[in-house]
Structure formats: C-alpha cells, structure tokens
Amino acid sequence: MFDINAVRAEFPILARQVHGKNLVYLDSGASAQKPQVVIDAVTRGYAQEYSNVHRGLHYLSNLATDKYESVRSTLQRFLGAAHDDEVLFTTGSTHGMNLVSYAWAAQHLAAGDEIVLSVLEHHANIIPWHFLRERQGVVLKWVECEADGSLDAQRVIEAMGPRTRLVAVTHMSNVTGALVDVKTICRAARERGIATCIDGSQAAVHMPVNMVEIGCDFYAITGHKLYGPTASGALYARRERQAEMRPFMGGGDMINHVSRDEVSYNVPPHKFEAGTPGIVQMIGLGVAIDYMQSLGMEAIAAHEADLRDYARSRLRGLNWLNLQGDCADKGAIFSFTMQGAAHAHDISTILDRRGIAVRAGHHCAQPLMQFLGVTATCRASFAMYNTRDEVDALVSGLELCHELLG
C-alpha cells in the first residue's frame, strides 16, 4: 500500500504556508522537494563525515569514499545497468548530455553526418548537438510530434538515414508528460549501427527504467528531480561506447600517470570524472534513490497514474482551458493555456497568491512551444507527495484566474 500521508510527512516543506495558504507544490518537474532522510544525510555529510574522496588514507576520507562509491551500485540497480562501471557521476542531465557530445559524438561525427532528435526535447538535449552543428557541420534532423503531442516511434525510425550517427530523444516530455517508446527506437537504431542518447530526466522519476531492456547507449538522469540534491546526477554509458570515448575534462582522479611528456588515463568510470566531485550531493542522491525504492517504483507510478487520471478529468472539465499535448500515454504533467488574453505568467501569479506553485514560461523547450503555436504555457507537474485534494485546489485556483482574466 502507498501511504500518501506517511509520504507527505517525510517532506518538511509541505507543512509550510505561502501567502497565508497551505503550500500546494506542483512544480516538481522543475525540481522536486527533499525528504527528511536526504536533508539529514546532507547535513551529516557536511557536519560529521566530510572529507575529500579517493585521495586520503585517514578515517574520514575512507568513510566518505565508501559512501560516495556505494552510490554507483545504488544507481546501477536503479537504472538496471549491467555493470556498475557503466554509471558515470555527473552534476545532472545537462552535464551528461554535454559529456556525450564532447567525449563521444565530437570524435565520431563529421560534416554532413546527422543527429535525429524530436521537437519534444528539452534544451539540454538540443544545445549540445547545436554545438556540433556550429563547429563541425553536423546536420540536425528534426522529427515532428503528433497533433496530440505524442511522438510516433516509427517517425523517428523513418528519419534514420545512411548519414545518421546518433538519435537523441527524451523518454518523457518535461512539458506535456508524453511518454516515448524509446525501446523500439533504440532497437531499430542498434540494428542500423546508430548510437542512442536518451534524456531520462523526467521518466526515471515516475516509472521503473531498465537500461538492458531499453537497449540505449547513453541515458541521462538528474538528481534534483529524483528528490535528491542539486548538482547530482548520472549518465549511463554502455561499455562498448565508453571504449570509443575520450576524456571530456582533465584533472584529479581521471589520470593514471602524468609526466612532462605524456599522460595516461584511469579506467572508466573514473576516466570521465575529473576533479573533486560533488561528494555530499551524490551521497544525498543515493539516499534519495534508496528512499524511492523503499516505497517501490511501481507503487509510486500507480499513485501518480491515479493523480494523472483525476487531474485530466478535472482539467478537461474546464471548457475555457486549453490542455497542450494531452496525449493518452503520458505522465502526471500538464501544460495549459487559457482562452482569451490571459498570459501564463499572470495565471501563475494568481495561483501563487493561493499557495499553488506552478511553472510558467517555455520550460526550456522552445521548439515544442513553436510546434504548439504558443510562446509560453503554465505547467502543473505532480509528484509522489501530491494528492487529489491538491488537484482540486489547482482547479479552484484556475476558476479564479478565469473569473479575473477571462
């Protein structure tokens, strides 16, 4: 059983008020709140256990190193990776995708080679490929989504041509929650010898994921959406692709030997983890993952599916609200505009005065905004700690917005 009251009690911020109203936090798609166990782990890490990792022989260094490195196995299990050395520590998905761009793609793509990506993508899964377009003449090949905001896997497969070297797509849209059949896409890409990079920033939060089953080459996740600290995350990089990668950054434990005339590099994953890392941040992420798995990813997914269905029913009942990309197979993320001249920022401001936190803007997904024919939307993104009562609060707040702005 998923005990929502017990879950909410683990997140101290949910007990506070904003503008004299009980906080209704519906912006987890941007960054999730933190449970007490993560807050305690970060506090303890700095107050009682802090030291640099890998470089010391004293007690605190060994303790920090053991805790830090244990997170790799935690993430291996969470991601369903075959080997723990396929988990590279990063500061988040943006770092992960840039690592793929610099360490792998820049070495294997030449002028005229193609990267296939979709209009659903977050800028973190667009800009690193634009760098290659600007600097190396790589061609970006865009796949449109359907009218309902879904992405047809067959369209992505049909876009793969003889010059395609990489397919970079999201697993779940951060704007609409649309789920993408990445397993089918990755299977087709591998049959054609094409590499795949999947943005798992949203999907890994809301559902079980398994790298072996998906069959991708790279999969990026970000810790702050997974109820962990900011500046934490990971990139799954399949062993075969790691062998084709060169270091992205230099310094620290990524070396084996350095002389005046030469340098040799450490083995993966350390080869791709330069400098002093986010020690406490990664330890906090490990605790967050353990917490999620103690609840059960299937149980979390079922709870959020109920919230999605209830919210969709309530929001569809507002005939002056335009749900953007309201496809059937989606997570509990809703983007919307209001008929008339109401701007997303005005809607967000009114909701905020009622203690309801939503996101307003282009959500770092401007190609999707252009496809939808809007400049901005409001987005309500639900998490494990949200309730049906909070859906009702959102609907009530939107009705006030319509009364004031409609």
Q: What pLDDT does 340 receive? A: 87
Which among 145, 364, 378, 401 is annotated as catalytic? 364
Query: pLDDT category, 396, cuts 50, 70, 90?
Result: very high
- CATH number of the domain residue 239 falls in: 3.40.640.10
Residue 218 lies in a domain: yes
- State whether 358 and 270 are in the same domain: no
- What tens digit of pLDDT does each residue of 122-167 get? 999 999 999 999 999 999 999 999 999 999 999 999 999 999 999 9
Reported in sequence order, the residue ranges of 190-270 that DSSP labels E, i.e. its strands, are 195-199, 218-222, 233-237, 255-258, 263-265
Inter-residue contact 280 to 46 (CB < 8 Å): yes
Does the annotation mark 186 as catalytic?
Answer: no
> 6: Cβ–Cβ under 8 A, 6 or more apart, which residues?
none
- State whether 16 and 83 are in the same domain: no
Pair type for strands 356-357 and 24-25: parallel
- State whether 290 and 300 are in the same domain: no
- State whether 65 and 201 are in the same domain: yes
Task: Name 167's bridge partners.
Answer: 116, 196
Residue 90 C-alpha from the chain's centroid: 12
- State whether 160 and 181 are in the same domain: yes
Residue ranges making up the domain that contains 195: 49-294
Find out whether the peptide bond into 269 is cis, omega within 30 degrees of 0: yes
Whole-number CA gyration radius for the chain:
22
Last residue of a domain, one of 273, 294, 315: 294
- What tens digit of pLDDT does each residue of 275-290 get? 999 999 999 999 999 9
Backbone angles phi, psi at 173, to 5 degrees: -65, 135
> 361: Cβ–Cβ under 8 A, 6 or more apart, which residues?
344, 345, 376, 377
Query: pLDDT category, 1, cuts 50, 70, 90?
Result: confident
Last residue of a domain, one of 269, 294, 319: 294
- State whether 80 and 15 are in the same domain: no
Of the chain, the end-to-end C-alpha distance in Å amounts to 42
Report the percentage of the chain scoring pLDDT > 90. Answer: 99
- What tens digit of pLDDT does each residue of 338-388 get? 998 799 999 999 999 999 999 999 999 999 999 999 999 999 999 999 999
Q: What is the mean pLDDT of residues 247-276?
A: 96
- State whether 204 and 83 are in the same domain: yes
- State whether 61 and 176 are in the same domain: yes
The Cα 79–Cα 57 span in angstroms is 31
The Cα 226–Cα 289 span in angstroms is 7
Does an H or E element contain 301, and which?
Answer: helix 297-316
Least Cα distance to 339 among 361, 365, 368, 318 occurs for 318
For 374, how many CA atoms within 13 A lie in the half-sphere containing its CB? 26
Q: What is the mean pLDDT of residues 22-34?
A: 98
* Lowest mean pLDDT, pick from 54-58, 310-314, 332-336, 364-368: 54-58
Number of domains the chain is built from: 2
Residue 375 lies in a domain: yes
- State whether 223 and 323 are in the same domain: no
- State whether 93 and 24 are in the same domain: no
- State whether 326 and 282 are in the same domain: no
Residue 40 lies in a domain: no
- CATH number of the domain residue 11 falls in: 3.90.1150.10
Last residue of a domain, one of 294, 326, 360: 294
- Mean pLDDT (the chain) is 97
Residue 393 lies in a domain: yes
- State whether 53 and 202 are in the same domain: yes
Report the percentage of the chain scoring pLDDT > 70. Answer: 100
| Both structure tokens of 152 | 């047809």
Q: What pLDDT does 142 receive? A: 98
The Cα 218–Cα 200 span in angstroms is 10
Residue 337 lies in a domain: yes
Residue 96 lies in a domain: yes
- What tens digit of pLDDT does each residue of 186-202 get? 999 999 999 999 999 99
Residue 41 lies in a domain: no
Inter-residue contact 117 to 141 (CB < 8 Å): yes
- What tens digit of pLDDT does each residue of 59-90 get? 999 999 999 999 999 999 999 999 999 999 99
Residue 38 lies in a domain: no
Q: What pLDDT does 152 receive? A: 98
